Structure 1
Amino acid sequence: MALRAKVRSAPRAPASAVPFAKPVEGEIPRAGLRQLRAMAADCRACPLWRDATQTVFGEGPARGGVIVVGEQPGDEEDRSGRPFVGPAGRLLDQALSEAGLDRSELYLTNAVKHFKFERRGKRRMHDRANAHEQQACRIWLAAQWLRLRPRLAVALGAMAAQTLFGASFRLTRERGRWKDLDARTRALATWHPSAILRAPAPTRQLRLRELVRDLRALAAAMRELRGESD
């Protein structure tokens, strides 16, 4: 009930206000990032909140013009409340550095805001959010999108890419290609760092190079937006 009260007290926008290929359910709350974070912390739209430590909402500059969307938080993210601080986050930081970028320039978030896992003894092993859980959480990504009004977006992994581009999108075919989401925003999709970490050694090195190449394309697009030359 707390979530409903807070959403009703905030201005709302129709689901069509964001250029996602996958639908957003309900009207999107419009508020500052701090208020949205507090609202999302009370979300009970799917069962994931019951076992997760906290909502992992997102972080970064509100006016940077760039959003990077991952899939869902892992164990270290769940404990800290911050996105991309575990092994995948450290690999992302490495790739960003090689591409000439710093994470402080980017707004980082995930398509799903709670850690989903299964227990194996004392360990909490990552489990992919199902379609219902992804759908329930999409309203928070939409709310972030409306607040940030990004000019550039990068989707890390298939879950984020299909949210933006549709269920038929395939990373193996369309990775690294800029696409217009609407008149304002261009987006591309690339490998999620966790998928790189899981890949066998030869594939891991290839995908890491491709991730860095795609992030360099992002860096070039950011310079273009700022009116800087190479």
Structure 2
Amino acid sequence: MSPKAPEDQYTAEPFVPDGADLPALRRAAAGCHGCPLHREATQTVFGAGDTHARVMLVGEQPGDQEDRQGRPFVGPAGKLLDRALAEAGIDPAHAYVTNAVKHFKFTQAEPRKRRIHKAPSLREMTACGPWLAAELALVEPELIVILGATAGKALLGSSFRVGQVRGTVLEEEIHGRPERLVPTVHPSAVLRADDREQAYQGLVADLKVAARALTGKPERKTNA
């Protein structure tokens, strides 16, 4: 068993190989013990998709189905996201999808009971940051779509509020690289919404902003 590191020393950095391509990073991430989340998760869930993608979508963490299958966004939220991307004019097959945290964090009342998602802490997100930085450096997307508050905090800091900036194009330095980012809600929030159709249309509208940013068309801001 790996020694338990103090929480302020959690980091994946020692596990990230220098000069690795994405397949090598994925293999290395499978053995990451940079924070305690690996102990309960089934496996590491690394990013997937087009390695030359123009757009990278960053979510929070794997869910139950992702943890079992070892691939990001394969559960209900992922299926909804693919539908919303296609409706917005972004081909899901040409995107790269990943999460700020690569292990499933959950609570479970008893063995064999349903595993309930639990949001990762800021320290756990920070610990996993070197994997996301390595993915960004290799994929070099033209645009990052932030899916939800946790991903936003992982990339932009703890003051990030998705409701304040969703559907806008931000320009920030992320892990030493100038990036353009479009924040929106996580698709799982759409599935939990009281008015699911309205929430879904809001997600599509935000993704259309991302699609227009990729084509270079200027955004029209309204007060509506």
Q: Which residue of 2 aligns with 1:5?
A: none
Q: CA deviation at 1:195?
A: 1.2
User: How many Å separate the matches in 2 of 1:194 and 1:47?
Assistant: 24
Task: Tell me if 1:113 matches 2:102.
Answer: yes
Residues 100-138 of structure 1: CA deviation (Å, up to 9, x unaligned): 222111000000001111113421111111222111111
Provide the rounded CA distance (Å) in 2 between the counterparts of 1:224 and 1:132.
36
Q: Does residue 67 of structure 2 align to residue 78 of structure 1? A: yes
Separation in structure 2 between the aligned mates of residue 216 and residue 198 of structure 1, nearest angstrom: 22
Q: Extract structure 1 runs of 4+ deviating beyond 4 A.
A: 24-28
User: Structure 1 residue 137 and structure 2 residue 110: aligned?
Assistant: no
Count of equivalent residues: 202
SS at match of 1:69: strand
AA at the equivalent of 1:181: E
Structure 1 counterpart of 2:98, which letter? Answer: T
User: Unmatched 5+ residue regions in structure 1?
Assistant: 3-23, 226-230
Matched, 1:193 2:187: yes
CA distance in 2, matches of 1:144, 1:68: 11
Matches within 5 A, 1:50-199: 50-121=39-110, 122=112, 123-182=114-173, 184-199=178-193
SS at match of 1:185: strand
Deviation sequence 1:80-112 (CA, Å, 0-9, x none): 111111111111112112112221110000000
Aligned to 1:210: 202
Task: Mark the CA change 1:169 to 1:57 in structure 2 (over 3 Å): closer, same or farther.
Answer: same
Q: Percent identity?
A: 49
Alignment partners' CA distance in 2, 1:224 and 1:105: 18
Q: State the TM-score, normalizing by the size of structure 2.
A: 0.83
How far 1:217 moved relative to its partner?
Answer: 1.6
What's the TM-score, normalizing by structure 1? 0.81
Superposed CA RMSD: 2.2
Cα displacement string for residues 171-213 of structure 1 (whole angstroms, at most 9, x for unaligned residues) = 1111111011247521011000111111212xx3332111101
Pair 139,125 (structure 1): closer, same or farther in 2 beyond 3 Å = same
| Rounded Cα–Cα distance in structure 2 between residues aligned with 1:25 and 1:101 | 32
